[in-house]
């Protein structure tokens, strides 16, 4: 979880840091999509 504490602009040009940033971006995107889908389902269950 240490990666999340680091400032996003700190990664260097080396492939490992770039890959780590890409992975974090992808995980964040996937998590956001999952949360959006779950929120949508929860909202739809509630009476209007």
Q: Say if CB 7 and CB 24 are below 8 A apart.
A: no
Q: Residue 43: its pLDDT value, please?
A: 83
Q: Residue 41: its pLDDT value, please?
A: 86
- Identify the CA nearest to 11 among candidates 26, 27, 23: 23
How many other CB atoms are found less than 10 A from the CB of residue 47?
A: 3
Q: Say if CB 25 and CB 11 are below 8 A apart.
A: no
The contacts of residue 18 (CB under 8 Å, 6+ apart) are 11
- What SS3 class is residue 1? coil
Mind listing the pLDDT tens digit for each residue in 22-47?
899 999 999 999 999 988 888 887 66
């Amino acid at each position: 979880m240490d990666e999340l504490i680091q400032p996003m602009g700190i990664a260097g040009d080396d492939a490992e840091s770039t890959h780590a940033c890409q992975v974090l971006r992808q995980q964040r995107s996937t998590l956001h999509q999952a949360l959006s889908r779950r929120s949508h389902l929860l909202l739809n269950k509630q009476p209007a």
